[in-house]
Amino acid sequence: MNSSKLKGNLCIAMLSFASLLRFLRICIFEHLKCCSLLGCKSYGTPEKKQSPDEKVFQEIKKSRNKRQKPMGWKCVDNCCWIVGYLCTTSWLLLFLLYIVPVSLPGLKGPEIPGARLKREGLVANHPVVLVPGIITGGLELWEGKPCAEPLFRKRLWGGWGSGFTDIFRRPVCWMDHLSLHYETGLDPPGIRVRPAPGLVAADYFAPGYFVWAILIENLAQIGYEDRNMYMAAYDWRLSFQNTEVRDRSLSRLKGQIEIMYATNGDKKVVVFPHSMGAVYFLHFLKWVELPAPVGGGGGSGWCAKYIKAIVNIGPTFLGVPKAFATILSAEGKDISLIRAMAAGLLESEFLGLQTIEHVMRVSRTWDSIVSLLPKGGETVWGNLDWSPEEGYNCESEEKRQLQALSKENNTRSSTDKSLFQVKHHKKYGRIISFGKEASEVVSSQLPTFSKDFMHSSTSANSSTSRGEFWTEYDDMSRENFQKIAENKVYTTTDLLDLLRYVAPKMMQRAEAHYSHGIAENLEDPKYNHHKYWSNPLETMLPDAPDMETYCMYGVGIPTERSYVYKMSPSDRRKGIPFRIDNSADGSDSCLRGGVYFVDGDESVPVLSSGFMCAKGWRGKTRFNPSGSATYVREYRHKPPSSMLEGRGLESAGHVDIMGNVALIEDVLRIAAGATGSELGGDRIHSDLLKMCNRVNVPL
Amino acid sequence: MPGARRRKGGSDTKKPQSGEASSSSSASPSFNKPDKPPAPPLPDKNYNIQKRNENVVKKWSCIDSCCWFVGFICCFWWFLLFLYNAMPASIPQYVTEAITGPLADPPGLKLHKQGFVAKHPVVFVPGIVTGGLELWEGHQCADDLFRMRLWGGTFGDVYKRPLCWLEHMSLDNETGLDPPGIRIRPVSGLVAADYFAAGYFVWAVLIANLARIGYEEKNMYMAAYDWRLSFQNSEVRDQTLSRIKSNIELMVATNGGNKVVVIPHSMGVLYFLHFMKWVEAPAPVGGGGGSNWCANHIKAIMNIGGPFLGVPKAVTGLFSSEARDIAFARALAPGRVDFQTLQHIMRMTRTWDSTMSMLPKGGDTIWGDLDWSPEEDYKCSVQKLMNNDSEIVGQTGEESSENANCVKYGRMISFGKDLAQESSSKIQRMEFRDAHKGNNLANTCRDVWTEYCDMGIGGVKAVADYKVYTADSILDMLHYVAPKMMKRGGSHFSYGIADNLDDKKYEHYKYWSNPLETKLPNAPEVEIFSMYGVGIPTERAYVYKLSSAAECYIPFQIDSSAEGENEESCLHGGVYSVDGDETIPVLSAGYMCAKGWRGKTRFNPSGIRTYIREYVHAPPANLLEGRGTQSGAHVDIMGNFALIEDIIRVAAGAMGEDIGGDKVHSDIFKWSEKINLDL
């Protein structure tokens, strides 16, 4: 069977080769004819002059002098030749690749988990809803300015569409369209950018960079298709309540869940939110049960009736410290690294390329980023002297990764050993400190400044000319920045104040939609306001005792937790006054390039993704009054062992985890009807429980 | 020189050199490779130079030239591409305007300026063939095609692996559902049918214009369904009808209670007819929406090119899987369209139940019998005049009806041109219905299964001997030649006329898509529009012959040599044509709205208002216009500005009277009067 196929393929290959050669021969003869015609002319002249013998030498000399002019010709020819050579070779290779049968033994990857589980007898049972996170969802243009005329219904963000490449062709136009209105957080006038619908919304972020695609493929193996799988695409730039106000996204999600429930034989749905989708769905849970004018009017039994389980993948329940760095200076670990390597690249004003400023201007119009700011204040994230992760040892993490390849049994002992070597705890609670010392000294040695200046309004010098890229930094004076830097250390609570100080309008806009505190008394009617719904510490889970909540996330990758900052060089009038001090390196690997790391999935620290499931909602607490079951499933990171594996079958990176075999297997089993205890309950690798015990939130 | 060329293989230089002797003669020693020892210093310098010239030329080996050529083409191409990309986006428009004069605003923009805004949510119901289908589970040969489009898009796999493709596109012969191990599902969302293939728009222009007045994803919904399945099976397998129902409810709820405007196209018209019956029928077999569902959720139904009463083309599609286009291609290149291909196509299409939904309905009463047909006075020569000036139509039509010998459109299939014109008393017909089919012993094509292979010479002869078929007898004939297929289809579709609509049997779903066997819902507020193109010759009846090929074949084919006597004849290449939109005759698209449902009839008990909007075809003025902004062709009409304007006005809240009521160019009212149907 296979060999005959191979033979057939070879035959086809030979035939097409023959025709290719025939074609080429025609081309060449044509070409040579041309050449010879051209050549005749050029030969003609020298031959005439060759007759007098003594002139020949001179002739050669002359031609040597003339060499420069013909060399130009030759260069073009050379270029053509090289290009042609490369093209032909690559075509040949492509052609060969195309002929080679797909199932060549050497290239065959391991069987995908879906196929294996199908053989075990798993079949599609509960309809599934996928809720994508921030950034990964596609956005398309529905109405735009003249510069974007040809991009109608093309992707401006993500996906296969051609609009994404416009970031290079007309960056300013592209940024204009992706920005929202600074005052309202909704569409700017004359521009409508809408989320792409359907599974294509977030299956691939860019060509070849999967997000949900692998999970979808595995689900399809056991029988899922369009009718029992729904991608709840929403505009991730908007605040959650605004997605309902503008696009009716929440209503549509509710409607789709009801449709799927009804058309699949009254089976409850399983929801898979990823990243920010987890908080979005938390918002939805609260919205759907509240009465109509502000909520979805589903009634108090809605969640119990329609939802079997919420399987959060890499959830950002308590926020991420990265969000502070993003808002404050539009950079994270990656960007500060680039800046360290090529100092001039990002801020060169050449051609008006102020990339970072542009990024900051656009991203500050997005309300959703504020939803990612750390929640729970100092109680959860630590204060000047204390933090829940303080026992964490970064060295051990690296050792563990090395040893995981050879023998996994020894890991624990070595971890324990290295734990004793820790001399002083890292002060993760100081999320931003100006200068490396400030991040390390005992709090009593810190200069005591009053932080009152932040509560006074900025001395807005309105005379500042508002340039092309306008950020609220331009409204502030240099002295204000100085004062901020002199204050040295900031905890989460301080940082929220700081943001209100440096970007008052943005925070005013966004804080109408989000809150970052801890509720004293959840019965207080003020918590019916929608700004509290996405904060797990200020809402109760719905009354659905049978609903299961999972927190699935990766561990074993250093994740940003706090930053060392410095002032930017002062020579520039506009721009961002602070930046990460990427020269700050610690004695151990916890501090590298101005960033302190803890355990996590590269984007979200363990504390943020795991705390609610491990403690906040565990058992009957005030946040989970019906006592619905929660499970924590951690996946240890193992980098891909070879290039062939692509982004890894056991990776635990924030997005790459969606291709993690173990996670996919869990996901499929849950969708096919397994309960949390059947999966094996909790599976914890990190020090999550220890950390949770240190967090003193009244439950 | 030729000698040098012949020795091209010997050279292994990687650096090309120009053919100019003057440039390289000096440099040539350095380029000499080990296999060619440097030329010995000869006393005769003349000779030396000549020799060097030869060397230089030799180095331009075949491969080098080839590389140079490819590189040159590539560079040139890239340069052009770069220029194209760097060009400001407004240039094409500028050029167009320079040639054709200023363009008219697209209707969306025009109406937006007049202050129209999105009001009623719209639902699109695509037709047959135009919707995309993607693979969710397949055999090994299609492993890498997961979630790729098998239908629509580029159709690349039709060429790459035709057999695999055919296998996946076919449905199960017995059940009309998925074959085991294969799941092909409709693409969902607006992308399902905005473009059929790259650049060939279906709904895209309409969507773009609606977007101008504020429509977007939340108030536009494409009711994509698997158009290969029978309508009820799309509910059984995919719950498509349920999902359409819920989505309409959802859109009404989230858009402030504004009812939806439904825009079905082509077969989608029948599908939506089925839906309206289904949604109000009680739960086990219907949607359980209650008897007021349509009244509460639908504002208007704007049918575009609807084959309400079927299309004659569907008969030939099933009978010999050809139509005018294919018969024409076959006449041009007899060997090219081989029977094997057609047979493959037939084998695939015969598994699709939906093709049977479009067989002509209403039998001889609607489509005419041996001597009579509603369109008999239609004059084909009018066509050319109409393209120039549509006002002459009325006059010419009257004049011609006197002197023309009427075309007998009622004879949908006749074997031989003479029989198509003979008066009925002279035709001798042999009954085929009970004829023995015989055994096809010479049948070598068991692998390519069509039911013709089960039929012997006797059966073929019996079919041909009946000579002339009308709409009624065609159904019998299809039952005779393809019993299994018609049995499968017969449980989903019906083609008759109801005597008594209150009969209990009409609660069965197979009647729901036939407008002559169902009542419209009780929703007096709803408006039904029938919008279609006119002015294009449309297939109506066929002249057939027995095909001559030997063994494995489809025994019948359109006699493409049958031509009319003169230019004015309606017969071209074995096909009689009437007025229509190239696919659907006016009668089928317009009759229900012109007469069957007009006023309070038994098919329309609540007196839903109906309107007919016809659009006269005008071919695109020049190439730049693409498929034209005034086209009346079946699919191209979706880019017709007048039609789009009508739709936008209704979607923004206008009633039928506001947009001008009926707009009729053809003789539809006259023809409708001739049909003797109890109303």
Task: Give the model confidence (pLDDT) of A207-257 as tens digits.
Answer: 778 889 999 999 999 999 988 999 999 999 999 999 999 999 999 999 999
pLDDT value at residue B12 = 42
Contact between residue B310 and residue B358 where contact means Cβ atoms under 8 Å apart: yes
pLDDT value at residue B316 = 85
Give the tokens for residue A306.
């329609």
Give the tokens for residue A330.
């539009």
Catalytic residue among A275, A387, A515, A609: A275
| Residues in chain B within 8 Å Cβ distance of A153 | 190, 194, 204, 207-208, 211
pLDDT band at B1 (very low <50, low <70, confident <90, very high): very low
Mean pLDDT over A394-411 rounds to 54
A219: buried, middle or exposed (CB in 10 Å: 19+, 13-18, 0-12)? buried
CB of A165 within 8 Å of a chain B CB? The answer is: no
CB of B208 within 8 Å of a chain A CB? The answer is: yes
- pLDDT-wise least confident of A28-42, A63-77, A595-609: A28-42
A51 vs B305, more confident: B305
Most confident of B162-166, B362-366, B393-397: B362-366
pLDDT value at residue A39 = 42
Catalytic residue among A654, A666, A686, A687: A654
pLDDT tens, residue by residue, A29-49: 444 444 444 444 444 344 444
pLDDT exceeds 80 at position A669: yes
Most confident of A167-176, A378-387, A656-665: A656-665
For the beta sheet containing A139-143, the strands, ordered from the edge strand earlier in sequence to the opposite edge, are A155-157, A139-143, A192-195
- Alpha helices by DSSP H, listed for A456-544, are 478-486, 492-502, 504-511
B369: buried, middle or exposed (CB in 10 Å: 19+, 13-18, 0-12)? middle
Contact between residue A347 and residue A575 where contact means Cβ atoms under 8 Å apart: yes
Nearest to B1 among A36, A53, A227 (CB): A36
Mean pLDDT over B426-448 rounds to 61
Mean pLDDT over A114-119 rounds to 89
- As for the ipTM of the complex, it is 0.79
Best mutation target among A55, A98, A153 (most B Cβ atoms within 10 Å) is A153
Mean pLDDT over A349-355 rounds to 53
Mean pLDDT over B548-558 rounds to 67
Task: List the single residue in B with minimal CA-CA distance to A49.
Answer: B46
Interchain contact, B74 vs A84, CB within 8 Å: yes
Interchain contact, B243 vs A263, CB within 8 Å: yes
| Residues in chain B within 8 Å Cβ distance of A32 | 5, 60, 65
CB half-sphere exposure, A663, CA atoms < 13 A: 35
Mention every residue, 6+ apart, whose C-beta is less than 8 A from residue B120.
B255, B258, B259, B260, B261, B299, B300, B650, B651, B652, B653
Lookup result for tokens 């409204």: A475
pLDDT tens, residue by residue, B146-165: 888 888 877 777 777 788 88
pLDDT value at residue A346 = 52
Nearest to A87 among B27, B60, B71 (CB): B71
Whose CA is closest to B213, among B541, B611, B644, B606? B644
CB half-sphere exposure, A345, CA atoms < 13 A: 9
pLDDT exceeds 70 at position A489: yes
- The rounded percent of chain A whose pLDDT value lies above 90 is 27
Interchain contact, A71 vs B23, CB within 8 Å: yes
- The rounded percent of chain A whose pLDDT value lies above 70 is 73
- pLDDT-wise least confident of A50-54, A351-355, A486-490: A50-54
pLDDT tens, residue by residue, A438-455: 888 777 777 665 666 665
pLDDT value at residue A6 = 40
- pLDDT-wise least confident of A102-111, B32-41, B647-656: B32-41
pLDDT exceeds 90 at position A634: yes
pLDDT value at residue B244 = 93
Active site residues of B: 266, 581, 634
Mean pLDDT of chain B: 79
pLDDT value at residue B372 = 83
What is the rounded CA–CA span in Å between residue A688 and residue A616?
Answer: 12
Structural domains present in chain B: 101-132+187-309+584-679 (3.40.50.1820), 312-358+360-492+536-580 (no CATH)
Q: What is the DSSP string of A184-208?
A: TSSPPTT-EEEEPPSGGGSSEEETT
pTM: 0.82
pLDDT exceeds 80 at position A66: no
CB of B217 within 8 Å of a chain A CB? The answer is: yes
pLDDT band at B392 (very low <50, low <70, confident <90, very high): very low
Most confident of A97-101, A573-577, A610-614: A610-614
- CA distances to A351, A366, B222, B237 from B356, in Å: 64, 53, 23, 19
- pLDDT-wise least confident of A347-356, A525-534, B431-440: A347-356
Neighbours of B188 (CB within 10 A): 23
| Residues in chain B within 8 Å Cβ distance of A53 | 45-46
pLDDT value at residue B29 = 43
pLDDT value at residue B575 = 87
| Residues in chain B within 8 Å Cβ distance of A28 | 62, 65-66, 69
Mean pLDDT over B89-107 rounds to 70
Bridge partners of B623?
A: none
pLDDT exceeds 90 at position B614: yes
Task: List the single residue in A with minimal CA-CA distance to B16.
Answer: A78
pLDDT exceeds 90 at position A278: yes
pLDDT value at residue A219 = 93
B622: buried, middle or exposed (CB in 10 Å: 19+, 13-18, 0-12)? exposed
Give the tokens for residue B494.
């019906």
pLDDT value at residue B74 = 83
pLDDT exceeds 60 at position B132: yes
| Residues in chain A within 8 Å Cβ distance of B185 | 225-227
- pLDDT-wise least confident of A63-77, A544-558, B43-57: B43-57
Task: List the single residue in A with minimal CA-CA distance to B182.
Answer: A223
CB of B253 within 8 Å of a chain A CB? The answer is: yes
Bridge partners of A601?
A: A557
- pLDDT-wise least confident of A82-86, B42-46, B349-353: B42-46
For B99, the enclosing helix (H) or strand (E) is helix B91-100
pLDDT value at residue A269 = 95
pLDDT tens, residue by residue, A165-208: 666 667 788 888 889 988 888 999 889 999 988 888 888 887 77
pLDDT value at residue A204 = 85
CB half-sphere exposure, A563, CA atoms < 13 A: 26
pLDDT exceeds 50 at position B395: no
CB of A421 within 8 Å of a chain B CB? The answer is: no
| Residues in chain B within 8 Å Cβ distance of A258 | 246
Contact between residue B548 and residue B275 where contact means Cβ atoms under 8 Å apart: no
CB of B19 within 8 Å of a chain A CB? The answer is: yes
Whose CA is closest to B168, among B145, B189, B152? B145
pLDDT tens, residue by residue, B313-357: 888 888 877 766 666 655 655 554 555 677 777 788 888 888 888
Mean pLDDT over B539-556 rounds to 75
pLDDT tens, residue by residue, A534-581: 999 999 999 999 999 999 999 988 888 888 888 877 655 556 788 888
Q: Parallel, antiparallel, or unpaired for β B200-201 and B195-197? A: antiparallel
What is the rounded CA–CA span in Å between residue A146 and residue A177?
Answer: 11
A297 vs B27, more confident: A297
- pLDDT-wise least confident of A364-373, B84-93, B294-303: B84-93
pLDDT value at residue A340 = 59
pLDDT value at residue A30 = 46
Tell me which DSSP letter residue B213 carries.
T
pLDDT value at residue A570 = 61
State the count of interchain CB pairs (< 8 A) between A and B: 194
Neighbours of B664 (CB within 10 A): 15
- pLDDT-wise least confident of A281-285, A370-374, A475-479, A579-583: A475-479
pLDDT band at B404 (very low <50, low <70, confident <90, very high): very low
B169 vs B158, more confident: B169
